Amino acid sequence: MNAESLKRAAAERAAALVANGMRLGLGTGSTAAHFVAALGERVRGGLNVVGVPTSEATRGQAEREGIRLTTLDETPELDLTVDGADEIDGSLRLIKGGGGALLREKIVAAASRRMVVIADGSKRVERLGRFPLPIEVVPFGLEATRRAIARALDRNGSRGDLRLRSAANGGPFATDGGHFILDAHLGRIDAPEALAAALATIPGVVEHGLFLGLATGAILATDDGLIEVGAV
């Protein structure tokens, strides 16, 4: 199967987890888009759910699919979030944010009782860090924040380039919240919890793409079938 068919298979399995009346977090990215499409089909078949989108892109898709949307202000507690990931390790720790939606994705995941990750099997890793870690920062004070992050990485034993993410027009990529992203090319992250704690103390860092203790289950699609990890 090609990567799109694998992503669709994981997404369709996740769509089958959705029950009538559920309050959902709707993830962002190409795998989550397959889930939103599969959910839309079930909604048109009579399923009654509400969803909180994790990005403007997902909002647009969900609206086109006819999925009823809400906000975390109206619906602060969600039953289930389904989202993709850039990397997932054996303890359900994730790197997310390759699509730039990490801030809303993390807020929505944290507001959910369950978070099920959907991905093709290539996202499964022994150790996090080959995928560049996205760190969302406010534009004000960018260089000072970049240096503070570099020092924190150094202290954590995680050396690597910090690259400002670019948009298609060559300027800095801006998130839905108007922030920039520094991608940390680390190669490996030996102590994700310590790194997450260090990044969280830096003024100017809005959020980072380490999702620790948030995913409760995962559906990984491989050529040999679906692998379920944790509680699905």
Per CB under 6 A, residues contacting ligand A5P are 27-32, 83-86, 96-102, 105
Smallest distance, Å, CB 81 to ligand A5P?
11
Q: Which of 222, 201, 200 is nearest to 212 (CA)?
A: 200
> Is the separation of the CB atoms in 123 and 88 below 8 Å?
yes
Which candidate in 65, 87, 105, 136 is catalytic?
A: 105
Q: Which is nearer to ligand A5P, 23 or 96 (CB)?
A: 96
**Residues in CB range of 174: below 8 A, 6 or more apart:** 167, 180
Smallest distance, Å, CB 84 to ligand A5P?
3
Q: Measure the CA–CA gap between 104 and 176, rounded to whole angstroms.
A: 9
Minimal CB distance residue for ligand A5P: 29
Q: Which is nearer to ligand A5P, 81 or 156 (CB)?
A: 81
> Is the separation of the CB atoms in 222 and 6 below 8 Å?
yes
Q: Which is nearer to ligand A5P, 115 or 195 (CB)?
A: 115
193 belongs to the catalytic site: no
CA angle, 47 then 48 then 50, to 5°: 125
Smallest distance, Å, CB 191 to ligand A5P?
22
Which residues does the annotation mark as catalytic? 105
